[in-house]
Amino acid sequence: MSESESSCQRIDGLATSKALYAEYKERVAELKEKHGQAPALAVILVGERKDSQTYVRMKTKACNEVGVEPVEHTLPEDVSEAKLMEVVAELNADPKVNGILVQLPLPKHIDADKVVQSISPLKDVDGLTEANAGNLFRLGMKGRFIPCTALGCMLLLKRYNVPLEGKHAVVIGRSMLVGKPVSLLLQSENATVTMCHSRTKDLPSVVQQADIVIAAIGKANFVQGDWLKPGAVVIDVGINAVDDSTKKAGFRLVGDVEYASAVKVASAATPVPGGVGPMTVACLIGNTINAFELAHKN
Amino acid sequence: MSESESSCQRIDGLATSKALYAEYKERVAELKEKHGQAPALAVILVGERKDSQTYVRMKTKACNEVGVEPVEHTLPEDVSEAKLMEVVAELNADPKVNGILVQLPLPKHIDADKVVQSISPLKDVDGLTEANAGNLFRLGMKGRFIPCTALGCMLLLKRYNVPLEGKHAVVIGRSMLVGKPVSLLLQSENATVTMCHSRTKDLPSVVQQADIVIAAIGKANFVQGDWLKPGAVVIDVGINAVDDSTKKAGFRLVGDVEYASAVKVASAATPVPGGVGPMTVACLIGNTINAFELAHKN
């Protein structure tokens, strides 16, 4: 490790998520004692996609780790949209279920957005419904259920005491799940935010001005170290597979930022894997606990 | 008028709103013929504030101009929140009412946000409900009811053929009514957008980079001409009263941008008054017609 590299702080999403799980475990234990039941997260998996199965497994494992009850619903690949909507409606009505997650993508014959929008906003722990988008638009970090990856980025910045007020944040990517919500959240924390995307001209010069860079475009090693302002903080949301014959799997995971060159310039950066990824799952669990508290408030 | 000033195009909101009214008038006539009734806009005025009365009068006048039926509800200053909510609920349920507008501000004993959020999202022609904010977040310019002032800014840019794709827009102000929605709308039209506000550092140097400046902060003559990049397009949302002993009223209205210095640098700019102001009322009428069409779609 070179001298310059060692001066870049590693923003450790894995360690941060573990700290969150420890807090969640305590909160769940308290809630269980108070209300006689644990928060429950329903996870709906349609079909047998290997990647989706892996994600569902990670999520149920995280539930188990903190004492949240996972309620798995596995439906066949050819399930009808109507049947799937019915399952969501039943879970919406079930007072024992606090969070509902539909693992995406869904098979092509199903209108995924229609299904997702039918989730009760009070159980939409992924923050995907229009109602919760509007809530975030209005309330920022005080929003009801903030999309997990966007929230994960914010919690990393907060846990690492990265100042936001008056800082210039550049967000690359404008997805519903990350770019757009994280832009509004950074703004609600008093950062000046520039929202960039595929049509942005001369992106390197825009990034050059950023105190904080959030990269969420899904392009391997796209943002180069020499684009960064010295001392910038980099949050890399990308998880991209690139060919690597030295690995057993034949590939390795890299972010949207070229890590090796970035750490020579940045003051702090998230690695991939081990950065935002683990935070996303942790935030899902956090949102589920919040949903339980919301349901038991009255 | 100096040579440099004359090269700045006046973005005429009054003329543009008149053109819109002419289009609306035709649409309303067609809708009336097709459905046997005209779109109706309910306007609720609480108390006797002179400014609110003026605004309501402007809105009902605009309705009358295009054939939209204004339904005025005037309630006493001391009306209870419950009674006001009841009026909104009745209008929500009334199939003859297409748009509902609660003139703000409301007296202090009433929770204005609670009242506004109780408006049906399908009749919320001001675009103030959480549901419609979420809809705009997701759909951008295709959103159901875009807040009228934000929409007015966008329509001026469109009607004056200001290119947005790949351009850098700087939005000053982050209100729910203008700054936030207009930022998302400009992004949805492929502009790179920087969202600035009171905590932004070195605002002049940020504005210096803008191809398009939207000023919506409510500070008289705040943005100076020498902040602008030569050729920038300026949309001034501010309407501020400043003392002026030469006027009968003792004041005159100015924008958030110092117009005299701005027109020496900008390629196009909205005047105040006669810029965004008239567009706001026109967009309210447009939204009401859209609400009527929405209600009659099925």
Q: Does residue B278 register a pLDDT over 60? A: yes
pLDDT at B241: 93
Residue from B192, B212, B229 whose CB has the most chain A CBs within 10 Å, to mutate: B192
pLDDT at A139: 97
Residue B44 backbone zone (phi > 0: left; psi -120 to 50: alpha; other: beta): beta
Residue B59 annotated among the catalytic residues of the structure: yes
Q: Do B100 and B176 reside in the same domain of the chain? A: no
pLDDT given at position B42: 98
Cβ atoms B212, B182 nearer than 8 A: no
- CATH, residue A105: 3.40.50.10860
> B15 CA to chain A: closest CA distance, Å?
32
Predicted confidence at residue B50, as pLDDT, reads: 94
Q: What is the reported pTM?
A: 0.96
Nearest Cα to Cα of residue A272 among A257, A254, A258 = A254
What's the pLDDT at A6? 62
Of the partner residues B130, B187, B199, the one whose CB lies closest to the CB of residue A174: B187
Residue B177 pLDDT exceeds 80: yes
Q: Do B132 and A134 touch (CB under 8 A)?
A: yes
Whether residues B114 and B181 fall in one domain:
no
Average pLDDT over residues B115-125: 98
State mean pLDDT over B131-152: 97
A285 falls within a domain: no
Report the residue of chain B nearest A175, measured CA to CA: B138
CATH number for position A246: 3.40.50.720
> Each residue of B206-234: pLDDT tens digit?
999 999 999 999 999 999 999 999 999 99
Q: Residues of chain B with pLDDT > 90: what percent? A: 97
Q: What is the mean pLDDT of the segment spanning A100-129?
A: 97
Nearest CA in chain A to B176: A138
Contacts of B183 in chain A (CB under 8 A): 195
Q: Is B114 on the interface with A (CB under 8 A)?
A: no
* Mean pLDDT, rounded, for B86-92: 98
Residue A10, strand partner residues: A269
Residues B151 and B268 in one domain: yes
Among A138, A174, A187, select the one facing B195 at the smallest CB separation.
A187
B-chain CB neighbours of A194 within 8 Å are: 192-195
Q: Does residue B100 share a domain with residue B49?
A: yes
State the amino acid at position A58 in one-letter form.
M
Share of residues in chain B with pLDDT > 70 (%): 98
Contacts of A296 (CB under 8 A, 6+ apart): A31, A35
Q: Is the pLDDT of residue B4 over 90?
A: no
For the segment A147-200, what is each residue's pLDDT rounded down to a tens digit?
999 999 999 999 999 999 999 999 999 999 999 999 999 999 999 999 999 999
Three-state SS annotation for chain B: CCHHHHCCEECCHHHHHHHHHHHHHHHHHHHHHHHCCCCEEEEEEECCCHHHHHHHHHHHHHHHHHCCEEEEEEECCCCCHHHHHHHHHHHHHCCCCCEEEECCCCCCCCCHHHHHHCCCCCCCCCCCCHHHHHHHHHHHHHCCCCCHHHHHHHHHHHHCCCCCCCCEEEEECCCCCCHHHHHHHHHHCCCEEEEECCCCCCHHHHHCCCCEEEECCCCCCCECHHHCCCCCEEEECCCEEEECCCCCCCEEEECCECHHHHCCCCCEECCCCCCHHHHHHHHHHHHHHHHHHHHCCC
Q: pLDDT of A51-67, one tens digit each? A: 999 999 999 999 999 99
Q: Does one domain contain both A154 and A110?
A: no
Residues B164 and B232 in one domain: yes
Active site residues of A: 59, 103, 126
Distance of alpha carbon B56 from alpha carbon A94, whole angstroms: 46
Catalytic residue among B12, B124, B126, B236: B126
Same domain, yes or no: A207 and A157: yes
Segment A202-255, tens digit of pLDDT: 999 999 999 999 999 999 999 999 999 999 999 999 999 999 999 999 999 999
Rounded to the nearest integer, the mean pLDDT of chain B is 96
Interface of A with B in 140-179 (CB under 8 A): 165-166, 168, 174, 176
Domain total for chain A? 2
Interface test with A, best of B128, B138, B171 (most A CBs within 10 A): B138
Tens digits of residue pLDDT in A63-93:
999 999 999 999 999 999 999 999 999 999 9
Q: What is the C-alpha end-to-end distance of chain A, expressed in Å?
A: 55
Do B185 and B268 lie in one domain? The reply is yes
Give the Cα separation of B102 and B42 in Å (integer). Answer: 8
In a domain, A163, yes or no: yes
Q: What pLDDT does residue A270 have? A: 98
CB contact under 8 A, B197 and A190: yes
Kindly list the distances between the CA atom of residue A240 and the CA atoms of A222, A251, B9, B59, in Å, as whole numbers in the listed order. 11, 10, 47, 53
Residues A153 and A107 in one domain: no
Would B29 be classed as within a structural domain?
Answer: no
Is B81 among the domain residues? yes
Q: A153 and A263 in one domain?
A: yes
Judge whether B290 is closer than 8 Å to chain A, CB to CB: no
pLDDT score at B74: 97
pLDDT at B3 exceeding the cut of 60: no
Nearest CB to B130 within list A138, A183, A206: A138
Is A134 in Cβ contact with B137 (below 8 Å)?
yes
Chain B hits for A129, CB-CB cut-off 8 Å, are 134
Q: Is residue B129 part of a domain?
A: no
ipTM: 0.95
Q: Is residue B281 part of a domain?
A: no
Contact flag B135-A130 (C-beta cutoff 8 Å): yes
- Which residues of B are less than 8 Å from A136 in CB distance? 137
Per-residue pLDDT band for B111 (boundaries 50, 70, 90) equals: very high
* B142 falls within a domain: no
Q: Which of B132, B184, B194 sits opposite A192 (nearest CB)?
A: B194
B200 to each of A169, B80, B193, B204, how far by Cα in Å?
Answer: 11, 40, 14, 10
Q: Do B201 and A135 touch (CB under 8 A)?
A: no
- Picking from B166, B190, B195, the nearest residue to A193 by CB comes out as B195
Domain that holds residue A55: 35-124
pLDDT averaged over every residue in chain A: 96
What is the mean pLDDT of the segment spanning A138-147?
A: 97
Q: Does B157 reside within a domain?
A: yes
Is there a single domain that holds both residue A118 and residue A156? Answer: no
Note whether A211 and A172 are same-domain residues: yes
> What is the pLDDT, as a whole number, of residue B6?
63
| pLDDT beyond 60 at A2 | no
Q: Which residue has the tokens 């988008």?
A: A133
Are A131 and B133 inside 8 Å of each other by CB? no
Q: Average of pLDDT values for B182-188?
A: 98
Active site annotation includes B124: no
CA–CA dist A274, A152 (Å, integer): 12
Question: Closest Cα of chain B to A84: distance in Å?
Answer: 23
Query: Distance between CA B228 and CA A52 in Å, rounded?
Result: 50
Q: Which single residue is written with the structure tokens 């207009």?
A: B182
CB < 8 Å to A174, chain B: 187
Smallest Cα–Cα separation from A17: which of A222, A291, A276, A296? A276
Q: Number of CB pairs < 8 Å for A and B?
A: 90
Q: Given an 8 Å threshold on Cβ–Cβ distance, is B187 in contact with A168? A: no
Q: What is the pLDDT of residue B32?
A: 97
Nearest CA in chain B to A196: B192
- Substitution target in B167, B187, B208 with the highest count of A β-carbons within 10 Å is B187
Residue B204 has pLDDT above 70, yes or no: yes
